[in-house]
Amino acid sequence: MQIPQSLTYVKQHYSGRPLVQAIQSSQQQQCLGLLAVMATVLVWSAYFISLRSSALSPLSLLELSLFRYVIPGLLLSPLLIKRWQRIRQVPWFYLAGMVIGAGLPFFLGSAVAMGFAPVAHGSTLVPGVAPLFVTAIAVLVYKQPFESFKKLGLSAIGVGVILLLASSWQQVNSQQTFGQLIFLVASFLWAVFTICARQSGLKPLETAAVVTVPNAAMLLIYLISFGSHTWGFTQLPWQALAAQMLVQGLAVGLLASFCYGYAITRLGAELSSALGSLTPVFAAMFAYWLFAESLDLLTIIGMISTVLGVIAASGWFKKPVQTISLSRLKE
């Protein structure tokens, strides 16, 4: 039986063994990498704060989606056209995984869930549980070895999720539980995006273009087809409106993608991912300051367990800073 071309590509680009290559970077470059990943953490924290703020504002999901995808989509469309010959060589299922995993289903799910659950839960469940889904896909689909340090880390993440869910169960809050479940679905979508983006071999801005331009096109087609809509931005002061457009469109759509990609080239994927787990800590502090959201004991313990689990699962304590070598994966 003839093997489909798509499966042949997967077999050629991933051999099932963790191929890594040490990063050769100066101390100054590593410092810049640390600054880049911390900037990413701050942007991600602002993203969840922005979603929470929008859930309490008259802005509709359509307006938020326009900010998130149309603004960076218009800016990145020339890049997509210029790099199209390179991008079209990526198998369609990886491109589809990126468009869906970080696209409208992910964004709308996160935005809806933020109306039911606090910022601390969203910022912990989405980036914190994603490594669990990523590892499950890597082990089940790509037959990657399941090392003991990953088992320890993922167990801690699982404990953190249970504690976060137990917080709402203890309060008999069905709406909050519903929001947490949507966050878990969004986390799975983000894991799909992560796997597809890694396997595609595209550069950070190319990946951002693949995500934003098609989703922006779908939104514009929807607007043209169904023109009638109640706009909430007219009820907001221009400062709040500008903040939403800045965070959703430019910071998350462009800045975070570039900074995180740069951090990986200087620090390695594992250390960058470990530092990225600080997102719920910063987001929770911002939410406490801006929205006076209280943090009960179960939530605090769940956040700590999730963050420590992400750090342990990354293998940071196991080996020196490393990154995946795509050139070796193609050998």
Domain locations in the chain as residue ranges:
27-53+60-329
pLDDT classification of 7: cutoffs 50, 70, 90: very low
Q: What is the pLDDT of residues 226-259, one digit of tens each?
A: 877 778 777 778 887 888 788 878 888 788 877 8
Residues 48-105 have pLDDT tens digits of 777 666 655 677 888 888 888 999 999 999 999 999 999 999 999 999 999 999 899 9
Separation of first and last alpha carbons in the chain: 24
**Helix/strand/coil percentages in the chain, nearest 5:** 75, 0, 20
CA 298 to chain centre: 24
Task: Give the integer Cα–Cα distance in Å for 150 and 282.
Answer: 25
- The backbone region for 16, taken as left when phi is positive above 0, alpha when psi lies in -120 to 50, beta otherwise, is left
Specify whether the backbone of 268 is left (phi greater than 0), alpha (psi in -120 to 50) or beta.
left
pLDDT at 103: 92
Its pTM stands at 0.78
The residue type at 209: A
Q: In the structure encoding, which two tokens stand for residue 238, read together?
A: 């221009």
* Residue 321 pLDDT: 44
Range among 46-55, 86-95, 124-133, 194-203 rated most confident: 86-95
Largest CA distance in the chain: 63
